[in-house]
Protein backbone atom coordinates (compact mmCIF):
# COMPACT_ATOMS: atom_id res chain seq x y z
CA UNK A 1 0.00 0.00 0.00
CA UNK A 2 1.33 3.41 -0.95
CA UNK A 3 1.72 5.96 1.77
CA UNK A 4 0.14 9.38 1.32
CA UNK A 5 3.37 11.12 0.21
CA UNK A 6 3.91 8.55 -2.53
CA UNK A 7 0.31 8.96 -3.66
CA UNK A 8 0.68 12.74 -3.78
CA UNK A 9 3.93 12.46 -5.74
CA UNK A 10 2.37 9.99 -8.14
CA UNK A 11 -0.66 12.24 -8.67
CA UNK A 12 1.58 15.27 -9.22
CA UNK A 13 3.72 13.38 -11.75
CA UNK A 14 0.64 12.15 -13.58
CA UNK A 15 -0.73 15.69 -13.84
CA UNK A 16 2.60 16.99 -15.14
CA UNK A 17 2.80 14.29 -17.79
CA UNK A 18 -0.81 14.99 -18.84
CA UNK A 19 0.04 18.67 -19.22
CA UNK A 20 3.02 17.80 -21.44
CA UNK A 21 0.77 15.89 -23.85
CA UNK A 22 -0.72 18.26 -26.44
CA UNK A 23 -4.37 18.51 -27.36
CA UNK A 24 -5.58 17.27 -30.74
CA UNK A 25 -5.70 20.81 -32.09
CA UNK A 26 -2.17 21.57 -30.88
CA UNK A 27 -0.83 18.32 -32.31
CA UNK A 28 -2.25 18.76 -35.81
CA UNK A 29 -1.96 22.55 -36.16
CA UNK A 30 1.05 22.31 -38.52
CA UNK A 31 -0.02 19.10 -40.27
CA UNK A 32 -1.65 19.21 -43.67
CA UNK A 33 -4.49 16.81 -44.37
CA UNK A 34 -2.14 14.73 -46.53
CA UNK A 35 0.37 14.57 -43.66
CA UNK A 36 -2.38 13.45 -41.29
CA UNK A 37 -3.47 10.74 -43.73
CA UNK A 38 0.10 9.55 -44.26
CA UNK A 39 0.68 9.45 -40.50
CA UNK A 40 -2.57 7.58 -39.85
CA UNK A 41 -2.20 4.98 -42.57
CA UNK A 42 1.58 4.70 -42.94
CA UNK A 43 2.19 3.68 -39.33
CA UNK A 44 -0.21 0.74 -39.57
CA UNK A 45 0.33 -0.27 -43.19
CA UNK A 46 4.09 0.00 -43.66
CA UNK A 47 4.56 -3.54 -42.35
CA UNK A 48 2.08 -4.87 -44.90
CA UNK A 49 3.36 -2.73 -47.79
CA UNK A 50 7.14 -2.41 -47.27
CA UNK A 51 7.63 -0.98 -50.78
CA UNK A 52 5.42 2.00 -50.00
CA UNK A 53 1.81 3.02 -50.16
CA UNK A 54 -0.84 0.66 -51.45
CA UNK A 55 -2.47 3.74 -52.93
CA UNK A 56 -1.61 7.35 -53.58
CA UNK A 57 -2.66 9.52 -50.61
CA UNK A 58 -4.29 11.92 -53.08
CA UNK A 59 -6.66 9.10 -54.06
CA UNK A 60 -7.73 8.88 -50.44
CA UNK A 61 -8.26 12.65 -50.32
CA UNK A 62 -10.30 12.41 -53.54
CA UNK A 63 -12.83 10.28 -51.65
CA UNK A 64 -14.05 13.50 -50.05
CA UNK A 65 -15.77 14.28 -53.35
CA UNK A 66 -17.62 10.95 -53.20
CA UNK A 67 -18.46 10.83 -49.49
CA UNK A 68 -19.22 14.24 -47.97
CA UNK A 69 -18.92 12.75 -44.46
CA UNK A 70 -15.51 11.23 -45.11
CA UNK A 71 -13.52 14.15 -43.68
CA UNK A 72 -15.55 14.27 -40.46
CA UNK A 73 -15.22 10.49 -40.09
CA UNK A 74 -11.48 10.65 -40.72
CA UNK A 75 -10.99 13.45 -38.17
CA UNK A 76 -12.90 11.47 -35.55
CA UNK A 77 -10.92 8.28 -36.27
CA UNK A 78 -7.58 10.14 -36.39
CA UNK A 79 -8.27 11.85 -33.07
CA UNK A 80 -9.17 8.52 -31.47
CA UNK A 81 -6.06 6.93 -33.00
CA UNK A 82 -3.79 9.64 -31.54
CA UNK A 83 -5.48 9.44 -28.15
CA UNK A 84 -5.17 5.63 -27.98
CA UNK A 85 -1.45 5.89 -28.69
CA UNK A 86 -1.11 8.74 -26.17
CA UNK A 87 0.12 11.31 -28.69
CA UNK A 88 -2.62 13.63 -27.40
CA UNK A 89 -4.72 14.14 -24.27
Q: What is the pTM of this model?
A: 0.61
Residue 36 or residue 64, greater confidence: 36
* Contact between residue 42 and residue 80 where contact means Cβ atoms under 8 Å apart: no
Mean pLDDT of 5-17: 52
Could you tell me which residues come within 8 angstroms of residue 89 by beta carbon, excluding any fewer than 6 positions away?
18, 21, 22, 23, 24, 83
Q: What is the dihedral of CA 43, 37, 78, 75, to 10 degrees?
A: 180
Domain positions in the chain are 21-84
pLDDT in tens, 28-49: 999 998 888 888 877 555 555 5
**Sign of the torsion formed by the C-alpha atoms of 24, 29, 31 and 34:** positive
In this predicted structure, the answer to whether residue 52 has a pLDDT above a threshold of 70 is: no
Amino acid sequence: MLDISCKLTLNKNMKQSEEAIPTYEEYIKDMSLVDQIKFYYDVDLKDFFPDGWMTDPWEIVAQVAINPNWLNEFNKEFKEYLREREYIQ
